[in-house]
Chain A
């Protein structure tokens, strides 16, 4: 069992937890992910590692409840335990490897974080700061109430630009607009990391292709085991089929087939919707899910 030692609600619908997981903190690096299971026979939920403390043996995760399983996770409190918590999985971010540090130091790096994607961007920016690399971070959300980690990011980013789609805080516009604005103002970048919803990573990649900035994205497709066994997370990258869990999760954003990846995200929408409805309504559920026949 894996104890929750800290829990915070970061924004309207975004939660942070520190979870005691010595086997994960023993070797994890920025860019990797874990799989958490809230209770026995629960779903395996992959989440990118947002921070870690090797001495306290805790891993920080940030998540937004979207289905029955993640809703259940929000009900866990400090002192409660995840039934299972396994990792680190996937490849670490190449930017955050000691052996690449000399190369990395030469680069002008810009991070574009969207929504919950801010969380996995944070450990990379922090790791780079600790290794003497200043970076530009553009972090955006739909609206002010959904922003989080602004103060934390301020401490580790060389330059921080906060954007909201509705203009309620910071720059009025999307991350792509902000990036274009920085380039227009004469700033130049030779490496971009974009993490967020697939649609956002797609548009950042389209822009950076035009701007000729090499771009890494962190893909979060549907997964089951996360160890390379099931193939659910397969993606088309260039001409190849890649498994996000073992080959990724980070890939060249200019090679990923985002449209197909987004179509594949729809595979279980109907089943997941039913499960969420059944979970939220519990015993009071009397139909409307199109499945149980209770409304017929």
Chain B
């Protein structure tokens, strides 16, 4: 091995995986992991750590992998991350840790994400758990939402000795890890449930089916149930639609609905919850959620087109997801935008009228603004349209919590460094604060808030 190229990872063949919901990436074997770990230069000033939102000591854990001390590698990762098996699978490593790797200058970056995944999977298979706090400090903290930010915040606080309870609105813990990200990217029982169990093994309590703001308010949690501090990690919220004619037709779904039916409700396994198995599906949008929806529709038997208004270079989805989607046979209809959903006389979708776009001057996001090409409309036949256009914040908590400031867009206002909100002893992080973002950024915010909450108690 010349050191410039990473150890290749095995994946299910595209043609095979396009028809099943098994995980796409099969992960490194022990030998492969040790070999890949050997590529790490163990830099004195490791740039990769700076690229990690939760600052995992990357060279240290990779060194232990190279030495075959997998349990030690796991404990090093656990010091910083509550969900390594998740992050190893869904983090955009290419723009974070791996994007900073010195190896990446002249060759391929060390496969940090794949190594993290290997270590976490090894720990799970060998029954290794994170280490709980030596003693409890007796302070009660409520965590709202069991998604990536909530689980991270809860895990970190529990390790510091806090008495933490997570409140989850849905019937299962995991938030977007359960309802949003599909099985073939993130196995639910094997990986997510196991990570949740790990957090619980630190002493964290979990109560499902509680909707904060409805079942009980934040003020009631603090006044009636004795919680001294609260972390809000309630996630993104209401799906956006385009506001074009025909959008209420039968066969138009939000990506949230489509994915929730498939992932949380297990409709792909033919559970009691129905799902629309379209013959030809148009997914509108170009983010990771759009890729998840497209690849799910494909596996349910459809021909799938992704319609995105900018060009390939601007696709917000991770490169790996786009690559996988293409391999599986998803077609990308780029530089076009729907203007109308076409329907039959009974109100069912028959197609989408799109207009071609070209790229103009850069807009405030720095990406070139798509401009309609006049008179270029044409129709795409389809029976299902999935709108994946992002979300706007859910007002359930902000509207029922006195003194909690939200910004113009309805997101909770919180300090980036410690998650502090305008309300005393209430902290927030993740999509509820930033709007829809990534799992690891939410985890970073959960981590920062745990530190903020701990400092709040120290100074009290």
Contacts and interface: CB of A to CB of B under 8 A. Distances in A.
Pairing of A with B = yes
Interface of A: 23-24, 26-27, 37, 41-44, 67-69, 72, 83-89, 224-225, 227-232, 234, 236, 241, 243, 246, 260, 263-264, 266-268, 271-272, 275
Interface string B208-247: 1111001110000000000000000000011101000000
A251 to B, nearest CB: 15
A232 B257 contact: yes
Interface in B113-171: 169-171
Contact of B238 (A41, A83, A231): A231
A2 to B, nearest CB: 8
A16 to B, nearest CB: 22
Nearest to B171: A84
The 3 A-B residue pairs whose C-beta atoms are closest, nearest first, are: A271-B274, A230-B257, A86-B209
B346 interface: yes
A26 B215 contact: yes
Most A CB contacts (10 A, CB to CB) among B215, B237, B264 go to: B215
Given A24-B215, A41-B266, A275-B274, A260 B347 contact: yes
Given A23-B216, A224-B265, A230 B241 contact: no
Interface in B253-274: 253-254, 256-257, 260-261, 264-266, 271-274
Contacts of A271: 274-276
Contact of A224 (B248, B251, B260, B394): B260
Contacts of B248: 234, 236, 241, 260, 264
Given A43-B273, A86-B169, A86-B209, A267 B250 contact: yes
Interface string B270-296: 011111100000000000000000000
A69 B169 CA distance: 21
B211 A26 contact: no
Given A224-B257, A228-B396, A231-B239, A44 B211 contact: no
Contacts of A230: 239, 254, 256-257, 260
Nearest to A241: B241
Given A86-B209, A260-B248, A69 B171 contact: no
A88 B171 contact: no
B357 to A, nearest CB: 25
A228 B215 contact: no
Contact of A37 (B171, B215, B250): B171
A83 B251 CA distance: 30
Contact of B211 (A89, A231, A234): A89
Contacts of B257: 224, 230-232
A34 B257 CA distance: 19
A264 B209 CA distance: 27
A83 B171 contact: yes
Contact of B171 (A86, A246, A272): A86
Nearest to A263: B347
8 contacts: A43-B271, A67-B272, A227-B170, A231-B239, A234-B241, A234-B248, A243-B238, A266-B250
A275 B272 contact: yes
The DSSP consensus for interface residues of chain B is loop
Contacts of B260: 224-225, 229-230
A227 B238 CA distance: 9
Contacts of A268: 274, 276
Contacts of A267: 250-251, 276
Contacts of A229: 179, 237-239, 256, 260, 394
A268 B274 CA distance: 7
B210 A86 contact: yes
A270 B216 CA distance: 38
Contacts of A246: 238, 394-396
A271 B300 CA distance: 14
Contacts of A41: 265-266, 271-272
Nearest to B236: A229
Contacts of A42: 271-272
B65 to A, nearest CB: 36
Given A86-B169, A224-B265, A271-B275, 5 more contacts: A41-B272, A86-B210, A227-B211, A231-B238, A236-B248
Given A89-B211, A236-B248, A227 B216 contact: no
Contacts of B265: 41, 43-44, 224
B275 to A, nearest CB: 7
Nearest to A270: B274
Nearest to A88: B214
A263 B343 CA distance: 12
B281 to A, nearest CB: 15
B274 A86 contact: no
Interface string B309-352: 00000000000000000000000000000000000001100000
Interface string B365-398: 0000000000000000000000000000011100
B103 to A, nearest CB: 41
Most chain A CB within 10 A, of B214, B216, B238, B261, is at B214
Nearest to A38: B272
Contacts of B239: 229-231
A228 B171 contact: no
Contacts of B238: 228-229, 231, 243, 246
A88 B171 CA distance: 15
A38 to B, nearest CB: 9
B272 A69 contact: yes
Given A236-B248, A264-B250, A272 B274 contact: yes
A232 B253 contact: yes
A260 B169 CA distance: 30
A88 B215 contact: yes
A84 B210 CA distance: 10
